[in-house]
Structure 1
């Protein structure tokens, strides 16, 4: 069910949500968090689709904030339009698409605040155009977790260094989430090999932010220098860990399969596919505390408890 509201207010949107749930016979129970997506019109469809797919694992109220083009930003066009979606139109939760015009765009936090689920965690996701310091953004300050994506920027390694300077507990990035299968396999390989790593290399396409985060994580955990080796890609293609017994290698030149090689053991084939955005978001919503490993990979040290 969809309800369109033009030049509306937060109170009218809340009323429409209640009316929509009543019309389809669905009570407002079972939603575990509020997901706020800040995006543009071009990327809104894909972001909403990913959030709705993730909501099957994490039922949530999704608030999509779309700030319209700057040329419309003047007092005569300052307004808030909304599209309320409930039932099958909104996955396993409910979705409100908010389009802000004029001065309203400068006060997105005030628009969103009355629409948050009471006593529920808040997660903010910027699929594109994330702020330089997410924790200080007017929407970021409302959230326990703040999700960005270095794959959506032009100079990801420069932005990665900026994120390291502005990091606050609760920040994370989908470039890091994409590494979960790699990190799990590397940890399992080291548990099996039980050898000391003396050198390391990460092979990936040029300027890949996941590869840089993986290299920083390995340096922090293994206390060795990690070489960055440019390959043809796509994304991360191999990790090589040198030991006195021989190399530990995870190699994925292309496709969803990787080869794991351990010293003195036959090679084995492992599944290592590139996951869709909906799976990445679902993974991030499984934990709402600060991701200490991301902080270590990003900044080289664990976050301070009183940060």
Structure 2
């Protein structure tokens, strides 16, 4: 069921939601959270589709906030709220409210959203595009226990990581971090099996890909070893190579779907490591509402890693002799992530 309301108010929207639930025979509210999506008209369809898919795992009230830019001075002065309500099969397993804000109302979106939040339920705010630097300081972000951005959508993703670290507040997270969850799980499992000390590591991936940077920061922070960022043609993150005293541990994914795990003294094995859709990433983030301390530590380590000037340039690395035959050739390494070098450079500032 779809209901269109023009020049409406939050109280009228709430009344329409109650009536719509009665009309379809489900007067009870069985949703576990409120998901607020802040986007523009161009990205609203894709964001809502991903949220509806994720709602099969997390039934929720989805509130889409679309700020409509007014072209004329008169239109910018006139505040107007239009809404589209979806319940039943048109709204996944929950209910959806699409809010279109016009005129001065675009600067006061929180006053419209607040009355529509589910009572006594957690609130998650998601910016598919154009997230503010300070997520918690944003008026809409202040409503949420969790705030989800996607640094990959920024014009300068690597610089945005440093800005995110400076403005971090408990509850912030990033879909660029969520994308590397399978990589982190696989690498941690490999080290549990080997029980060896890692001497250094290299992370290969596309240039300006924040997921690659975050994985390098995580390794450098958790292992306390030099980690080098090397460039490849992608897609996305392509390989991680960890040097140990017993040999090299390599997790190589050249095609974005299937990876090869190579460990000393063991046969090579194929592991599924496909690139996931936004709906899967969003569903993963909605599983936890507590602060992600590991993300915080990795992100804040990255500030020191990205800012030092005059760090020694890494030499071009050749593919090791025991690397898989289909491993992509490594481009000249860039932006070393050695923890010791970061501390030394920071001390000079």
TM-score range, shorter chain: over 0.9
Q: Which residue of 1 aligns with 2:298?
A: 297
TM-score normalised by the chain length of structure 2: 0.85
Does the aligned pair in 2 maintain the 1:72–1:101 contact within 8 Å?
no
Identify if the C-alpha distance between structure 1 residues 93 and 188 changes in structure 2 by more than 3 Å, giving closer, same or farther: same
| Pairs aligned (count) | 301
Matches within 5 A, 1:192-203: 192-203=193-204
Give the Cα–Cα distance (whole angstroms) in 2 for the partners of residues 132 and 259 of structure 1.
Answer: 37
Matches within 5 A, 1:202-221: 202-221=203-222
Q: Which residue of 1 aligns with 2:125?
A: 124
Q: Which residue of 2 aligns with 1:27?
A: 27
Shift of 1:75: 5.1
Does the aligned pair in 2 maintain the 1:36–1:122 contact within 8 Å?
yes
TM-score normalised by the chain length of structure 1: 0.96
Specify the SS of the correspondent of 1:217.
Answer: helix
Give the Cα–Cα distance (whole angstroms) in 2 for the partners of residues 207 and 6 of structure 1.
Answer: 42
Give the Cα–Cα distance (whole angstroms) in 2 for the partners of residues 16 and 75 of structure 1.
Answer: 27
Shift of 1:70: 4.2
Specify the SS of the correspondent of 2:164.
Answer: helix
Q: Which residue of 1 aligns with 2:42?
A: 42
Q: What is the Cα-based RMSD across aligned positions, in Å?
A: 1.1
Specify the SS of the correspondent of 1:109.
Answer: helix
Identify if the C-alpha distance between structure 1 residues 127 and 3 changes in structure 2 by more than 3 Å, giving closer, same or farther: same
Say whether residues 1:225 and 2:213 are aligned partners.
Answer: no
Give the Cα–Cα distance (whole angstroms) in 1 for the partners of residues 12 and 199 of structure 2.
Answer: 62
Specify the SS of the correspondent of 2:136.
Answer: helix
Gaps of 5+ in 2: 303-349
Give the Cα–Cα distance (whole angstroms) in 2 for the partners of residues 129 and 207 of structure 1.
Answer: 17
Q: Deviations over 1:64-92 (max 9, x none)?
A: 00000142574553100000000000000
Say whether residues 1:11 and 2:11 are aligned partners.
Answer: yes
Identify if the C-alpha distance between structure 1 residues 5 and 72 changes in structure 2 by more than 3 Å, giving closer, same or farther: farther
Say whether residues 1:98 and 2:132 are aligned partners.
Answer: no
Gaps of 5+ in 1: 302-307
Give the Cα–Cα distance (whole angstroms) in 2 for the partners of residues 174 and 119 of structure 1.
Answer: 26
Give the Cα–Cα distance (whole angstroms) in 2 for the partners of residues 40 and 70 of structure 1.
Answer: 13
Q: Which residue of 2 aligns with 1:159?
A: 160
Q: Which residue of 2 aligns with 1:276?
A: 277
Shift of 1:255: 3.5
Bigger Rg, which one: 2
